[in-house]
Structure 1
Amino acid sequence: MHAVRTRPQAGAPGAPCAQCQTHTAQGKLTRLRYQAPKPGNRAPGGWISMRVFSCLFTEHNLWFVLLAAVMCVLGATITIRLYRLVSGARGAARLGWAFLAAVCAGAAVWTTHFIAMLGYEPGVPVQLDPGLTIASGLIAIFGSGLAFLIAGSFSGRVFHALGGAVFGLTVAAMHFTGMFAYRVDGIVSWDMAYIAAAIALSAGFGAAALYVAPNWKGGWRCMIPSLLMVAGIVSLHFTGMAAFIVTPLEGVETGADSPAFTAMAIAVAIAGFLILGTGVATYFIEQRMREASEDKLRHMALHDPLTGLPNRTSFNARLDARLDGPLAHETAIIAIDLNRFKEINDSWGHAAGDQVLTVLAERLRKFDGARHFAARLGGDEFCMILKTADVQELETLVQALENEFNRPVQCGDLEAAAGASIGVAIFPRDGDTRDALARNADLAMYKAKADPLTNICFYDPALGEAVRESRALASDLRQAIESDQLTLHYQVQTSIGSGEIRGYEALLRWTHPERGNIPPSRFIPLAEANGLILQLGDWVLRRACLDAAAWPSHLKVAVNLSAIQLTHIALPQQIHQVLIETGLPPARLEIELTETALIKDKAQSLHIMRQIKALGVSIALDDFGTGYSSLDTLRTFPFDKIKLDKSFTDELKTDPRSLAVVRAVLTLARSLGIPVLAEGIETVEQLELLRIEHCDEGQGYLLGRPAPKDVVSQLGQRIEVGGAPQPAQAPAPAKRA
């Protein structure tokens, strides 16, 4: 608050006033220098305090003082809030917030100063210079903007203090400019010590205010920067008031036009409040928009964009809160995986798949939603927190949930029933932590998915033991690949008519140092599930080609590829690289593929097969007759050989229908110009029937068991079969990989 300090006449001519010795004699004014009281006569609180408070309470309209005080506190509070936005903004946004903060700060400081001046009762006529008055307001605005840009544009705390000091100097410049605009009929003098003190106090409190503003935001401490700014403005006013001394002239009428000043003060206050109100409105609008934006981002971060259900992060947080609460013992979770979602996607497209997911998510949301919590973890996987641990109630709930997934979903003119496999885990019986509970629910779900007759499975400790054993075995398999502990055995393939050896099929064998022989039917799926199949397949291909390169030049080697290998786009380049490194001619390598591997992605499989054939490598269709699309497979894919599944060979003698199927396949193959190899030949009778039916090649225990490369290299060029099966060439039979 800014006002002036006057030396009014006190009583009769020549009588001194209370704070200065001024007297008149014979119409002439005589002004004596102010003498400070001696220390022994100093009133309590000091003569400076008496001088300040006397002027404040006896020479000011206290209602104006109160109005100025309200303006000062409100303006400082709004200014600090806007300044914090300046510190957090970047680029053009920072300039915009700095301008708004400067307008609010300048308006608050200027209106506080102006209202206090209008409330001062100097005892002499007063005039205001409009030019200097307007200039003081502009100084307040532009100086504040510069201060906020200095403080808000740099990260160092020293720049915050520097900007605050500039703000304090701006307030001082505005104050003294406004004092020069205050014209009174009297003699004016200045005390330079008070001026220096006023400037120092303003700059010091301003520096402190902006220094602490960025960090002191929460609780009661958030008001400290505003109070420091108010202290700077107030101390500047009172100290500057002490520096400004007016001595009225004799015979001049006292007082100012109080009604006019009152109206002007009210108008200035209204204008100031409107400006500050604009700043407040802008601040709160920006805060609301920021909160809305943050809410939207938070919702996006915690929810699935397609279905609107909570995502994995949200599910984990909710489950943690549930397990930490008093009702944790009444908690179960279920893991859900759709059974026919891939079929829906492949048949009707991804748009239909998205629609199915959206409808099912809405059913989950409405499924006793007041009690339970559903989330989509990704793909076609969902999870729910059920607020009960009673097994009978869980069975009822899960059965009802399964019915929801079995209900058809309308997709345009079509209906789809996705179905679901559901696994249930109960806290703390099936896991005493969030991760253990979720993991065991997944294990139960995979158990349900593996059993075509079961869609719901409660967790059993035996599942956990099986998983632990599989993980340990997978770790051992990884080590076996890296340390070259695997071996290849080879099973002979002969011409049925002549017995001539045509080649060998490479079969992978693994002898575990502790568990003994691990069958391929066990470790091949394990390699696929644990991401080892590509590494394992590369090892088999490379070793088989290296061994075959040492055989006679007319012998071929057949290598099985899994479905995962066939989907790998770099497979043709890998085969080409192996052939170059091992020196095996491409014509001596045969790749065996199953129908299951082909139908996962027919277009991709056909593209890769054509690239492999372009290398000169032949391709055989393995296990023919067991798939559901065999004829279409023969029509679509360019095979060089058909391998008839062992299940038909086993029943040639006992089942006329098996013999009829074999005849039909042989006839079809001859019409297509594709040779046929019969697998699983174990008796002379089977071999003789296949010879009669003109089957091209054969493979089985009768012709030769799988054996290491050193054993098969001694077989010669022809297998002669008499009236009994050939003796085994390896100590123990093993199932073909």
Structure 2
Amino acid sequence: MRRMRVVGCIIGQHDLGLVCVAIVLCISGAGVTASLFQHALRAKNNQWYAWLFLTSLSGGIAIWCTHFVAMLGYVGNTPARFDPLLTSISLLIAVFGSTIGFMLATCRFARFLPELGGVTVGLAIVAMHYTGMLAYRVQGQTLWNVPCLVLSVLAAIVLCVLAVRAGVRPGRWASACMAAVLALAVLSVHFIGMAAYHVQAGSSVMQSMEHSEDTLVLAAAIAIMSFLILGGGLVSGMIDDSSRAESVEKLRRMALHDTLTGLPNRLNFHQRLDRELDWARENNGRLALIGIDLNRFKEINDLRGHSAGDEVLRILGWRLRGLQNNRSGEFIARTGGDEFLALCRVVSTEQTKGFLHRLEEALFKPIRFEDTEVRPGASLGVAIWPDHAADKETLINNADLAMYRAKAERGRHPCFYEPSMDEKVRIRRKLSADLRQAVETGQLTICYQVQRVVATGEIRGYEALVRWEHPTQGTIMPDDFIPLAEESDLILQIGEWVLRCVCAEAVQWLQPYTVAVNLSGMQFVHSDIARIVANILKETGLPPQRLELELTESTFIADQARALQVLHQIKDMGVSLALDDFGTGYSSLDTLRRFPFDRIKIDRSFFGVMQTSEHTQAIVRAVLALGRAFGTSVMAEGIETAEQLSMLNAAGCYEAQGFLLGRPATLADIVKNGQITMNGAL
């Protein structure tokens, strides 16, 4: 019966055109309100206030405008007007009531706050509606149907509670459900409430009146303004959704890509490798995994600064991104500081070789930085699935093994995995761990090799050489363990220990022989070597004139300005400087001209095979001529035969060292042979 009363009120006492406008406005407003409500639920701190304001404003506007447009569409049997004050109060009730209700619903400080918020919004709709009805002034007696009135109040409260509960629940349809139920609550309150409303006209009152054009214009203006306000809220939500989507995509990209190079990162690579392995298993395919490690990145970083290292990585990242062929499943990621991993499907041997060739071209091509040219280079190791591994972890490990073999051999060509690499790498890693223990337990010893005058055999000095007395493998030569020390940065600790030990021993010699100590490139780059030398000389009391430091040209060629400053600091102390391994590497005349070397040491490679060849003699004479031109003495290394010594004597070389003149020996043995006399007991 009440349902028929409501339907009859809508059809018989309303302008259906304006009713439709009110319904569209209500549904649109409920949709915008529900959308903004979701933003308010997710917002934090000050953003919560902004979204709460927009939610409450759109909700209040939707509630009030639905009521007012529908009231303008109400066709009564008496003339009517709207009280301006009460009409304004009804709008404020809608907005502020919605504010309190949505604030409670989005706070979540207590378990039942959303339900309490829904009750508040429902009461705000009821209060707004009946305040608006009080503002509707008619000429006649107003009568109310109490059951319909009570039903409108209950409908508002129940439906708003359900609407808020739907809005706070997670899920894709939360916003749509909230909008539908909220729109139903607003429309139910109005039309059930209007069904409860009846006006008994007086005898002198005119009968039913048609709507004037002013009423229609007012209804249209209110509808347009409400749609504009709701549109503003909708646009705000859309902008936030777009910004949120962009932020999510940016965060996703940041999580899966390296920010410096733009290449995929380790996490991204592992996800891609998992997918490619699934593809290979399903299609009986093969994959090539390539481990890549830059050869000179540490040197570039140390000598030219981190900005140069970053620039090199950026350029390499740009090159590597450009060479990928996605149709062949090619994928390249940066997985560490100077480490990369590449992946491709093995369609054919030629295709894989082509990919490796493109990688080499990108990695070995020179890079211009400021006024210099950098050649990074790289070591590439390749492992094939399933030929070389049955699972992902083994595949990655085998690619690393092949890469380390390529790095050890320093060859430009990629190195493919072989089963024998496992044992060699295991031995190398074990030796590296043993070396760290050797430094801590004192397994390193110092030997000295005599340096003599070629013509007379007179002792000129000694070169200090470090040896490793391994507890199970015996004596290990520097060529075997110094590279391990440089890889682990132990060389800094070992180098300083050798320098301090040699100076402390040499100061006890009665004979004022000079003692030469080799400096590693990492010592020169990573430590304040001038300060360390000065402190050790002061601690031990060794006269600076008796110490000679030997350096290879590769130690300082990259950063010549800094090297020149450091070498002058050492030279100003009175310490001698020797250019070691001359004839290999750069061996430039500019080095002899610019740097304050006191001695040139001709590399042993010139005397290894054809000791008395005219070619070797010509080289020795040329170096001797350079020495005389620059005021620098010349010493030959690696002299092992009488023919070599005779050739040096004929060429006019003044100093030499080698097995013929004396093998490396401990200080105790040298003292025992009478070559050196100690101030005190050894």
TM-score (norm 1): 0.74
Matched residue, 2:680: none
Aligned AA (1:60):
I
Q: Distance in 2 between matches of 1:692 and 1:456?
A: 47
Q: Distance in 2 between matches of 1:339 and 1:89?
A: 49
Aligned residue among 308, 313, 323 for 1:364: 323
Aligned AA (1:375):
I
Aligned AA (2:288):
A
Q: Give the CA deviation at 1:460.
A: 2.0
Q: Is contact 2:288-2:385 (8 Å) kept?
A: yes
Q: Is contact 1:125-1:184 (8 Å) kept?
A: yes
Matched residue, 1:475: 433
Matched residue, 1:117: 71
Q: Distance in 2 between matches of 1:403 and 1:623?
A: 30
Aligned residue among 166, 172, 181 for 2:135: 181
Which range is displaced more, 203-212 or 692-701? 203-212
Deviations 1:359-412 (A, max 9, x none): 8547624x4x4233233538987654323365x45556447747976999999x
1:103-252 superposed matches below 5 A: 103-120=57-74, 123-141=77-95, 144=98, 167-168=121-122, 170-188=124-142, 213=167, 216-227=169-180, 229-230=182-183, 233=186, 248-251=200-203, 252=205
Q: Distance in 2 between matches of 1:481 and 1:155?
A: 62
Q: Distance in 1 between matches of 2:160 and 2:178?
A: 9
Deviations 1:128-173 (A, max 9, x none): 2234324423443455456656766898878767766665554444
Gaps of 5+ in 1: 1-49, 720-737
Which range is displaced more, 298-307 or 168-177? 298-307
Q: Give the CA deviation at 1:263.
A: 6.9
Structure holding more helix per residue: 2
Matched residue, 2:446: 488
Deviations 1:428-482 (A, max 9, x none): 2223444543443354455456667762443222234322332222222222223
Q: Distance in 2 between matches of 1:624 and 1:190?
A: 113
Gaps of 5+ in 2: 678-682
1:390-429 superposed matches below 5 A: 392=349, 394=351, 397-398=354-355, 401=358, 423-429=381-387
Q: Distance in 2 between matches of 1:410 and 1:665?
A: 34
Q: Give the CA deviation at 1:667.
A: 3.7
Aligned residue among 467, 470, 475 for 1:512: 470
Aligned AA (2:436):
R
* 1:329 equivalenced with 2:285 (yes/no): yes
Q: Distance in 1 between matches of 2:265 and 2:33?
A: 41
Q: Is contact 1:363-1:404 (8 Å) kept?
A: no
Percent of residue pairs bearing the same amino acid type: 44
Matched residue, 2:623: 665
Aligned residue among 2, 8, 22 for 1:58: 8
* 1:291 equivalenced with 2:245 (yes/no): yes
Q: Distance in 2 between matches of 1:207 and 1:513?
A: 81
Matched residue, 1:465: 423
1:550-561 superposed matches below 5 A: 550-552=508-510, 554-561=512-519
Aligned AA (2:550):
E
Matched residue, 1:535: 493
SS at match of 1:81: helix
Q: Distance in 2 between matches of 1:401 and 1:231?
A: 66
* 1:375 equivalenced with 2:324 (yes/no): no
Q: Give the CA deviation at 1:560.
A: 1.4
Q: Distance in 2 between matches of 1:458 and 1:645?
A: 34
SS at match of 1:248: strand
Aligned AA (2:389):
G
Q: Is contact 1:312-1:375 (8 Å) kept?
A: no
Q: Give the CA deviation at 1:549.
A: 4.2
Which range is displaced more, 594-603 or 645-654? 645-654
Aligned AA (1:280):
L
Q: Distance in 1 between matches of 2:551 and 2:435?
A: 23
RMSD across aligned C-alpha pairs, in angstroms?
A: 4.8
Matched residue, 1:595: 553
C-alpha change, 1:616 and 1:218, in structure 2 (3 Å) is farther
C-alpha change, 1:639 and 1:160, in structure 2 (3 Å) is farther
Deviations 1:16-67 (A, max 9, x none): xxxxxxxxxxxxxxxxxxxxxxxxxxxxxxxxxx55x354223233856665
Q: Give the CA deviation at 1:522.
A: 1.7
Q: Give the CA deviation at 1:104.
A: 2.0
Matched residue, 1:280: 234
C-alpha change, 1:552 and 1:446, in structure 2 (3 Å) is same
SS at match of 1:287: helix
Aligned residue among 556, 560, 565 for 1:607: 565
Q: Give the CA deviation at 1:593.
A: 0.8
Aligned residues: 660
Q: Is contact 1:359-1:409 (8 Å) kept?
A: no
Q: Distance in 1 between matches of 2:568 and 2:109?
A: 62
C-alpha change, 1:595 and 1:67, in structure 2 (3 Å) is same
C-alpha change, 1:707 and 1:273, in structure 2 (3 Å) is same
